[in-house]
Amino acid sequence: MIRLLRQFYLRKHFFLYWALLIGMFCLAYAVPSLMLIAKVALLVFLGVFFLDIFVLFLSKSSIKGRRIAIKQLSLGDDNTIRLQLTSKYKLPVNLRVIDELPFQLQIRDFEYFITLKPGETKEIQYIIKPIKRGEYEFDSINVYVSSLLRLAERRIKIPAKQTLKVYPSILQMRKYELQVFSKTAIFSGIKKVRRIGNNNEFEQIKNYVQGDDIRSINWKATSRRGELMVNQYQEERSQQVYCIIDKSRSMRMPFDRLTLLDHSINASLVLSNIILRKGDKAGVITFADKIGAQLPAESTSLQLRKIMDVLYNQKTLFMESNYERLYYGTRKVIKGRSMILLFTNFESMYALKRNITLLRKINQNHLLVVIFFENTELENTTNLNVENVKDIYFKTLAQKFALEKKLIASELRKYGIQSILTKPEELSVNAINKYLELKSRGMI
Query: Domain spans of the chain?
Result: 2-58, 63-167, 170-194+237-440, 200-235
Check whether 415 has a pLDDT greater than 50.
yes
Q: Is 333:285 a contact under the CB 8 Å cutoff?
A: yes
Give the DSSP per-residue string, 194-245.
Answer: PP-S--EEEEEEEE--TTS-GGGB-HHHHHHHTS-EEEEEEE----EEEEEE
DSSP state of 59: S
pLDDT band, residue 84 (cuts 50/70/90): very high
Predicted confidence at residue 2, as pLDDT, reads 45
- Bigger pLDDT: 49 or 193? 49
Instruction: Please tell me if the domain spanning 63-167 has the same topology as the one spanning 170-194+237-440.
Output: no
**3-class SS at 140?**
coil
6-55 residue pLDDT tens:
554 555 555 565 566 566 556 666 667 666 666 666 676 666 666 667 66
Q: What is the mean pLDDT of the chain?
A: 82
H or E stretch at 261: helix 260-277
Q: CA-based Rg of the chain, rounded to a whole angstrom?
A: 33
Weakest-pLDDT range from 122-131, 251-260, 275-284, 414-423: 251-260
- The CATH code for residues 63-167 is 2.60.40.10
Q: CA geometry: angle at 178 spanning 164 and 299, to 5°? A: 75
* Euclidean distance between CA atoms 52 and 29, whole angstroms: 30
Q: Identify which has the larger pLDDT, 387 or 254.
A: 254
**Mind listing the pLDDT tens digit for each residue in 207-235?**
888 777 777 888 888 888 888 888 876 55
> Closest Cα partner for 130 from 177, 80, 174, 82?
80
Which residues have CB under 8 Å from 75's CB, separation 6+?
130, 131, 132, 133, 166, 167, 168, 169, 258, 262, 265, 266
- Over residues 229-257, the mean pLDDT reads 83
Higher per-residue confidence, 75 vs 390: 75
Greatest distance between any 2 Cα atoms in the chain: 123
Q: What is the mean pLDDT of residues 247-257?
A: 88
Give Cβ neighbours of residue 140 (< 8 Å, ≥ 6 apart). 100, 157, 158, 159, 160, 161
pLDDT > 70? residue 245: yes
Q: Could you name the CATH architecture of 170-194+237-440?
A: 3-Layer(aba) Sandwich (3.40)
More confident position, 238 or 66: 66
Residues composing the chain = 444
Q: Which residues of 345-372 are buried (b: 16+ CB within 10 A; e: fewer)?
A: bbbeeebbeebbebbebbbeebbbbbbb
What's the CA gap between 300 and 303, in Å, rounded?
5
Q: Is the pLDDT of residue 58 over 90?
A: no
* 151 or 186: which leads in pLDDT: 151
Q: Comparing C-alpha atoms, which of 180, 230, 227, 170 is closest to residue 206?
A: 230
What's the average model confidence in pLDDT over 287-306? 92
What's the pLDDT band for 377 if we cut at 50, 70, 90?
confident
Give the least confident one: 198-207, 240-249, 425-434: 198-207
Task: Give the pTM.
Answer: 0.76
